[in-house]
Amino acid sequence: MSRKGGIDRGITQRKGREGWWVRIHLNGRERWFKCDNKSQAKALYGRLKADARENKFFPEKYAPKKEVTLRSWINRCLEGSTNRGKKNELRYGRRWSLLLGVRVLTDISTEDLRKIQSRMRAKLKPLPAGTPQNSARHRQWTDATINRHFSFLRHIFTLAIKDEKLTRNPVAGIHFFPEQHRTRYFSDQELGKLEGFLKPEDWKTVAFAIEAGLRREEQFKLRWDQIDLETGIITIPLPKGGKTRHVPISEGGLSILRSLSSFTVSPWVFPHTEDPLRHRNAQSFVNHVFTPALESIGIKNACWHTLRHTAASRRVMAGVDLVSVKEIMGHRDIQTTLRYAHLAPGHLKGAVNKGGVYLPVKSEPTLKN
């Protein structure tokens, strides 16, 4: 280490600034680094000089990195998001911004997240005005909703790790709550009631959801140029799985499409009732047509997505193999399709009898004289 008059070169206290500073020159450039005390400054100066002698001088690795808050990082991640579920991501992002938005990414610990998870599960919905205080209260968020919030946060931290702003994901130590996966589907009796209650055109919209098995937004944003009536194929560009898929149309689905008059007036298969140049709003149809119909005929615990479950369930119960159902429904993972496996006729009956050690003795038929 170079010294002059007993003073270490490159180590100084800058006028008007606190702490000790290290100054180093390389290729005509001057760089300054702040330290808490003189000993720390001497050690840093020695490492910098050693790196310079070995031609591996990278002062950036010694420079303090700019601290990023969770709110700013969430906003940065959502700006470039192209996910179909961005609407939900924005909602989760707002929630986490309120809870931990001002905290620096590196200061958020797993213990902090466990406390938030516990508080979210314990929070109850406020009672409506005029309701007795001793009335039963329900939880603000279900376990599934809490899991979706933490799944979003895990993704946000994963992106921070890839960008070298974190070394460990604090959500990795969080245990997600077990969820009950529902496979509610409409029975033939319920579908009959629904058909009898809805207007013919509205029933065609509902029936097509079962015939094609499309997701809600895929169906209501379906264009005629995506349909090949001759081959019976619907092309869905960039669906939820992020990969263009081709959906075969059943004979019933083709019959519904051929009966629609929107082909002559609109580019959309299901156009807006007032403006044929716009597609019909899916949420509006559910709120003003589908849900009121379910309530009127007494069908409970069902929603629009139940139609998609019905499409998969009816095919499995009809004997279609699970791999084919996976392709028809556009499931990215076979595990999603396996939730319908118990509906397959005899799907375990034959398997359980194979590999056994006990063979029942068949009784001889009794002969009648």
Q: Determine the Cα–Cα distance for residues 99 and 113; give it in Å rounded to an integer.
A: 10
Q: Determine the Cα–Cα distance for residues 262 and 342; give it in Å rounded to an integer.
A: 39
Instruction: Please give the pLDDT value at position 368.
Output: 54
pLDDT by position in tens, the chain (length 369): 444 444 456 788 876 677 788 888 766 677 788 888 888 888 888 888 887 777 666 655 555 556 789 999 999 999 877 776 788 899 999 999 999 999 999 899 999 999 999 999 999 888 777 778 777 788 888 999 999 999 999 999 999 999 888 889 999 999 999 877 667 889 999 999 999 999 999 999 999 999 999 999 999 999 999 999 999 999 988 766 567 889 999 999 999 999 999 988 999 999 998 999 999 999 999 999 999 999 999 999 899 999 999 999 999 888 888 899 998 888 888 888 888 877 776 655 666 666 667 766 665 555 555
Adjacency order of strands within the sheet including 29-35: 11-12, 20-26, 29-35
* Annotated domain spans of the chain: 3-61, 70-125+140-173, 188-345
| CA proximity to 276, closest of 284, 265, 291, 285 | 265
pTM of the predicted model over 0.75: no
Residue with tokens 């279900």, as numbered in its chain: 142
CA distances from 247 to 48, 215, 229, 231, 271 (A): 62, 12, 12, 11, 21
Contact 89, 52 (CB under 8 A): no
Contact 329, 312 (CB under 8 A): yes
Range 189-197, long-range pairs (CB < 8 A, 24+ positions)? 190/297, 190/299, 190/302, 191/310, 193/297, 193/299, 194/293, 194/294, 194/297, 194/299, 197/293, 197/296, 197/297
Instruction: Please give the pLDDT value at position 69.
Output: 93
When the candidates are 2.60.40.1120, 3.40.630.10, 1.10.150.130, 3.30.70.860, the CATH number that belongs to 70-125+140-173 is 1.10.150.130
Contact 172, 267 (CB under 8 A): no
Q: Which CATH architecture has domain 188-345?
A: Orthogonal Bundle (1.10)
Instruction: Please give the pLDDT value at position 2.
Output: 45
Fold matches, 70-125+140-173 and 188-345: no
